[in-house]
Amino acid sequence: MKVDLLSKIEERSAKIGIIGLGYVGLPLALRFCEENFKVIGFDSDLKKVNMLNQGISYIKYIPSSKIAPFLSPAKPIFTATGDTSKLPEVDVIIICVPTPLTDKREPDMQYVEKTAKTIAEYLRPSQLISLESTTYPGTTEELILPILERKNLKVGKDFFLIFSPEREDPGNEKYTTKAIPKIIGGVSPECLKVGIALYSKIVERVVPVSSTKVAEATKLLENIYRAVNIAMVNELKMVFDRMGIDIWEVIEAAKTKPFGFKVFYPGPGLGGHCIPIDPFYLTWKAREYDLATRFIELAGEVNISIPYYVVEKVIDALNKRGKSVKGSKILILGVAYKKDVDDIRESPSLKLIKLLLDKGAIIDYNDPYIPLLPETRKYNFHMKSVELTEKSIKGYDCLLIATNHSVYDYKWILKNANLVVDTRNAIKELSSKIVKA
């Protein structure tokens, strides 16, 4: 069976199934299509399914023109569906579903577990299952494998199971899916061999590791490293601000050192689908071994506190101008979690909106990439992006730059604003109107 699947992969006749067509699954699906693999994309959101089948993208940095060629009636190689009964039609099943945290900051594995049970229902011999969702070490073998083996199919013989963590960076034109090395860990040597054969067709470099646990831990290390270093510069931002030192100037000077220093920047808090969440997966798992992950916990405490610090800076800035935050009109510039994307997952802007509303402020937002604020697991503001005009800007007591989109004309914004609280160092020039936060 392994030989048949390997031959199909080599000949590009293997059909690929991808469960979850978001910021990870959709680029991956298109990458397989570029290499002439037929792909079925599965998603429970039928609105997304219908858009994709019409050749319409719902992700800003993926143009619709990149999808349309794969839907050609003459040679269609991509289709989207919400019908999981089609899973037996594919030779490879790649899981790209969310792995959020619960309210108690514990892993919420409901999407992974539900997906595994669905796959098990339709699992047939000679299929490869790849989990790409970021998770704690042991998930693939302790959670997924027992579910899949309920049909009396044996891993490494009847089907193959690997973990290959996603490494997508939405909007990054330099590091595309093809250019980012792919970590692969297999449940068995046979599983690893099939996984390497598959991913080597779509990425420039495959990095095999000794187990799925190593692959799972690798992804966590990458994101914990970033979370800890971002916490450090965020803490230094608050310390240096008290000392009258500009953290941004310090960073620019420090990064001239050609060795031993990697630059990280402070901001209004952590955002995105990885860094605010993934470190706590290891924290949770470490408790099974009677270990405390103190660096992770401390970094989490610092990063969680940053939106509160920003709000205090807004309050202080308004006070110095004789205004109370209650009743003040504040415009949030940018609600995406980072610049030039339309992704609001775990965006600190949402927390800032909530905190300022709780203080009695009147809040609007502008984001050219997010015309309407969608409902999230935590927030539902029923807000839409307001237009930026000279008149509208002058009508706000404070502009809070939360996301430094490149399309903003910061000189024009500063000229017309009464007060700007800048969390991203977006405005470089000195002005009594600007408060860094």
Residues annotated as part of the active site: 274
State the Cα–Cα distance between residues 10 and 341, nearest whole angstrom. 35
- Structural tokens at position 224: 């914990």
How many CA atoms lie less than 13 Å away from 36 in the CB half-sphere?
Answer: 6
State the Cα–Cα distance between residues 197 and 322, nearest whole angstrom. 66
- Structural tokens at position 13: 């006749």
- DSSP output for 356-392: HHHTT-EEEEE-TT-SB----SS-----BPPP--HHH
Q: Are 210 and 189 in contact (CB under 8 A)?
A: no
State the Cα–Cα distance between residues 332 and 421, nearest whole angstrom. 10
Strands laid side by side in the 128-131 sheet: 78-81, 39-42, 16-19, 92-95, 128-131, 160-163, 182-186, 206-209
Q: What is the DSSP letter of 202?
A: T
| Angle (deg, nearest 10), helices 279-286 and 294-319 | 140
- DSSP output for 265-331: ---SS--SSSTTTTHHHHHHHHGGGT---HHHHHHHHHHHHHHHHHHHHHHHHHHTTT--STT-EEE
- Structural tokens at position 416: 């017309």
Between β-strands 329-333 and 206-209, what pairing exists: parallel, antiparallel or unpaired? unpaired
Q: Are 332 and 363 in contact (CB under 8 A)?
A: yes
